[in-house]
Structure 1
Amino acid sequence: MTLRELFQYTSTSPWPILLLFILFPLLAWALGEAAHGSREVVKWGYVYAVLVYAVCIPGIFAVTLNLYLFLFERQSVWEANLLLQLVPVVSMVLTLLLIKRKIPFRLIPGFGKLSGFLTLIAALMGVMWFVDKVHFYAFTYVPFVYLLVGFVGALLLIRFAWSRLF
């Protein structure tokens, strides 16, 4: 199945995908109510880790797809498929906000790896966009070391901004 076929399938049958992305925040809220007052934070951390990965993988994919479509394919905002390009992101943000109210992210196993993965994707998309816009030629006065330092600096800046966001 290609992405085009997935987009066409969800256009004809949107309810399974929509219910899935509505389920994630509801599940986070229900887990928060069930874990209220529980002293077994480690056990709930693993339960939340499964939920975080289940909602963040499609959410990160949707963010990456949106960036690609808008930056490289020059897709108009008016042509965006809301079900596959907006709903996963909204579901991810709502779920993460509900989880953050109950347990700190540092107690969720693997959350740092997920944010590192998002940082890497954001940095690579930024570098690809920069290269697409600048049109580097073989003759340049900028040493490669400066470009490498700029890339690492962008990685660190994105990582710092992500840690401040959540």
Structure 2
Amino acid sequence: MALVCVPLLALLLNMWSGKTAEEVLRFKYGYTVLVYVAAIPGIFALTLGVYLFLFERQSVWQMNLITQVLPVITMAATLWIIRQKIPFQYVPGFGKLSGFLTLIAALMGILFFLDRLHFYAFTYVPFVYLVAGFVGLLLVIRFAWSQLF
């Protein structure tokens, strides 16, 4: 029920915020809250869907519409409604969401590669070094992504 209300709140905020740029920019923090309220469950649902399809090999017919589809539709509808009124460059913190999504996509790509590799290693390297190497690899991917775009 709450996920259905988020696009409706975005629509109400669009009607209430006014017509001129100054009036719209006064409500940029309201738009920020709506973007985060819609995007966090949407990103989680996308990640869950990718995980279930790639790692658990779940069929499309077994999808749970409430947890896997509705948050993505809510996110898309809310972002589309907000985009009609204000460019995303004026929404504070919107770039952080794209960075978060990039980090999750890189992590899922690395984990999928390691899952398909069937790599078995017997090593005396402490686990802390492996975790540090993994975090370093994520930082390199993040830096490369930021340089690319």
User: Quick one: structure 1 residues 92 and 129, their matched pair in 2 at CA, closer, same or farther if it must change by over 3 Å?
Assistant: same
Task: Give me the whole-angstrom Cα distance separating, in 2, the residues matched to 1:29 and 1:101.
Answer: 10
Matched with 1:22 is 4
Matched with 1:76 is 59
Letter of the aligned partner of 2:48 in structure 1? L
Task: Give me the whole-angstrom Cα distance separating, in 1, the residues matched to 2:112 and 2:68.
Answer: 20
Tell whether the 8 Å contact from 1:48 to 1:99 is kept in structure 2 after alignment. yes
5+ long unaligned stretches in structure 1: 1-18, 139-143, 161-166
Runs of 4+ in 1 over 3 A off after TM superposition: none
Task: Give me the whole-angstrom Cα distance separating, in 2, the residues matched to 1:58 and 1:120.
Answer: 16
DSSP-derived class of the 1:40 partner = helix
Task: Give me the whole-angstrom Cα distance separating, in 1, the residues matched to 2:86 and 2:80.
Answer: 10
Matched with 2:49 is 66
Alpha-carbon distance, 1:125 to partner = 0.5
Task: Give me the whole-angstrom Cα distance separating, in 2, the residues matched to 1:60 and 1:126.
Answer: 15
Aligned counterpart for 1:133 among listed residues 106, 111, 116: 116
RMSD (CA atoms): 2.5
Identity among equivalent positions (%) equals: 54
- What is the TM-score of this pair, normalised by structure 1? 0.71
Aligned residues: 133
Per-residue deviation, residues 85-107 of structure 1 (Å, max 9, x unmatched): 00000010010011011001010
DSSP-derived class of the 2:26 partner = helix
Letter of the aligned partner of 2:80 in structure 1? L
Q: Are 1:36 and 2:25 matched, yes or no?
A: no
Alpha-carbon distance, 1:29 to partner = 1.1
- What is the TM-score of this pair, normalised by structure 2? 0.79
Alpha-carbon distance, 1:32 to partner = 0.8
Matched with 1:112 is 95
Task: Give me the whole-angstrom Cα distance separating, in 2, the residues matched to 1:86 and 1:48.
Answer: 23
5+ long unaligned stretches in structure 2: 122-132
